[in-house]
Amino acid sequence: MGPEDETSEQYNKTLKDALDFSLDKFVQYTDEMIKGGNAMTQAFGGSRARVSEMMSAVSEAAPKMRRLGADFNQTLTSMQDIAKATGKNTLASADSVSKLYATTKVIGGTVENIAKTFTEVGIQFGIVGNELEKSVVSVRDMGLNAETVMKSVVENASKLNKYNFEGGVQGLTKMAARAAMLRSDMYETFNFAEQVMDPENAVAMASTFQRLGVSVGNLADPFALMNASINDPGALQESIAKAAQAYTTFDEKTKTFKMNPQGMLTLRQMAKETGMSYENLSKMGLAAADLDKRLSQISPTLNFKDESDKQFLSNLGEMDASGNYVVKINDSQSKNLADVTQEEFDKLIEEQKNAPKTMEDIAKASMKSGEILVNEVGAIKEAVVRGAVSTSFVKDNLESFRRIITVPATAGANTFAKTELFNTQFEKASNSLRDAAAQMADKNNKKSMGEIINDLGSKFKDQGGEISAIMTNLLPQFTKQISDQNYKKGSSEIGEMANQFIAVAKEKLGGGKAETTLSQNKTNTKKLTQAQMVANTLYGTESLNKTTNQNQPLTSVVAQSANNTNTHTGTITIKIDAPNLDTQQLIQIFNKKEVQEAIWNANYKQDKEMGKVK
């Protein structure tokens, strides 16, 4: 059989998944790493400058979080929550993330709420986990419910900036722990402290306590009252509890604590003057009486290392029918608190001291043994596989690959995905269709159906040429956008190859030496349309010379007819103003025999038609 709360089948399935080191898992973890980087990029405002660090941070945190039973999505969510809570683009370390997540498993709440609550009072998220860990241990060492006490600590964290707690979080924890033992509402204590911070209110309140016959702690002294309200609200809470305790009695018959009749009247007056509720004051008084009775039953022969050890032992006691507090020594033995020996106490305290000390271990203490085994084995797999997929080689190449895909796509959209480029063309097409339909419907129209369709086809053909020219003229803009980017991330081989490819493509499309030659002539030329460039290339350079008479010929070729009986020789001078064309390639084209013959024959045919030759 598997663990105590799982069937053998469930256990084996879960463990099998934790031991799965297949290629599919590597692919899955690679996808998750990319997802993590993208998610953190979004949380950080969209910049991918640190995407490699983000991928590593999520991958490093995953194994630690897996030990706590958290999957990848919970890891990612926790890291995003920390970023939201702090309002900074700070990548939380694996230790900080796991510590805060473990804290939520022990005391409840969310990572975002805990991080935000303490960040707002000046305690950074990287520190708060350790502070709360110490608090949980101290609360547990007193024999109190850590979840209950720590919930109060988190809820009252804002008070750390309003009052001077000794030790900061630890001082607040001490007050919260004492409030739990006194069944006190900390909110009412803080409200009372706010009142007596004012000197006039402090004097009036001290006078009230004196009139009521209360002379406990610092309540009857206005200066001590003011000091406690600012520097030690925990002591103020203790004084109020002691004042209320003075009006309690223990009923031997019913074995219960009660408020005496005079105390009921006095507490009502005290509640009216202090703003605290009668219910809260009475609860504090009864709890203080119960606590004192517990402590009074502990044998005076016992030695305690500190006060928390004594509190721990007293909180283990449970009152029986005789009014004595009984402590469970082991599974089979219980003793009166007064009869516990030093040896028995030392054994009890040793077990307590040997309890888990870190927040992660405390969180795991409540897990089933099967969960712990599966999580620990799964953490090993997480460390191995995520360690492999998060190497610089993988991360850099993945990011370079992303750039190779997204940059051209983005450049294409920036260049071509513009409504204004094509709405005129679509309007023309719509008008052509509308005119054709009107002609077909017109009984007086003399055109045949074939003629109408032929005219429509001619219009669409002309329009297709216009759209082609638009796209062709936009290509240099698109080329520039993709060639200006660096596709290499870190030491990625894919990025290096992409940069080399773009460099070659850029040269072929008009970069490099050819681009330099053309730029030299730029100031002396006018921009020509595609149709003008084609016409000038095929039918001469007269019109071109009017705008580029300052330029030198780029090339000269001699063409000779393939017809041996009509051999013609001569020189054709061609000047070209065509941005983003490689002149060296054009020279090679014009030096081809078949191209020279075609140009010569076309020119000869035109001259013959014009009567220049016979």
> What is the pLDDT at residue 302?
92
| Reported confidence tier of residue 613, pLDDT bands at 50, 70, 90 | low
Of 555, 489, 424, 348, the C-alpha closest to 49 is 489
* pLDDT over 90, % of the chain: 29
Q: Is the dihedral of CA 535, 537, 542, 547 positive or negative?
A: positive
- Cite the DSSP H helix spans in 261-391: 261-274, 278-297, 307-316, 342-353, 359-364, 369-389
Q: Name the more confident of 317 and 426.
A: 317
Find the mean pLDDT for residues 312-320: 89
Average predicted confidence (pLDDT) for the chain: 75
Structure confidence at residue 218 as a pLDDT band (50, 70, 90): confident
Q: Please report the pLDDT score of residue 425 as a whole number.
A: 64
Tell me, what's the pLDDT at 317?
Answer: 87
> pLDDT digit string (tens) for 455-502?
777 776 776 677 667 666 666 666 666 666 665 566 565 566 666 666
Please say if the pLDDT value at position 191 is more than 90: yes
Q: How confident is the model at residue 490, as a pLDDT?
A: 66
More confident residue, 562 or 193: 193
406 pLDDT more than 60: no
The three-class DSSP label of residue 198 is: coil
Q: Where are the alpha helices (DSSP H) in 44-168?
A: 51-67, 72-86, 94-107, 111-119, 125-141, 146-155
Angle between helices 369-389 and 51-67 (to 10 degrees): 160
Task: Name, of 5-9, 10-14, 513-517, 524-528, the range with top average pLDDT.
Answer: 10-14
Q: Which of 14-18, 480-484, 554-558 has the lowest mean pLDDT?
A: 554-558
Q: For residue 394, what are the contacts with CB-CB under 8 A and spacing of at least 6?
A: 30, 388
Of 421 and 539, the structure prediction assigns the larger pLDDT to 421
The radius of gyration of the chain from alpha carbons, rounded to an integer in Å, stands at 44
pTM to 2 decimal places: 0.61
**Which whole number is the average pLDDT over 401-413?**
57
Over 50: is that where the pLDDT of 118 sits? yes
Q: Which of 48-52, 66-70, 511-515, 572-576 has the highest mean pLDDT?
A: 66-70
> What's the confidence (pLDDT) of residue 528?
42
DSSP secondary-structure letter at 330? E
pLDDT tens sequence across 59-78 = 788 888 888 988 888 988 88
Q: What whole-number percentage of the chain has pLDDT above 70?
A: 63
Q: Which of 156-165, 453-462, 506-515 has the highest mean pLDDT?
A: 156-165
Specify the pLDDT at position 421.
Answer: 56
Task: Report CA-CA distances (Å) from 379 to 64, 67, 376.
Answer: 7, 6, 5
Mean pLDDT of 217-230: 89
Task: Report how far residue 125's alpha carbon sits from residue 100's, in angstroms, rounded to the nearest whole number.
Answer: 8
CA–CA distance, 128 with 574 (Å, rounded to integer): 78
pLDDT of res. 525: 38
Higher pLDDT, 166 or 352: 166
pLDDT digits (tens, 9 = 90+) for 421-437: 556 666 676 677 777 77
Q: Report the range of poorest mean pLDDT among 251-255, 272-276, 449-453.
A: 449-453
Across 357-382, average pLDDT: 81
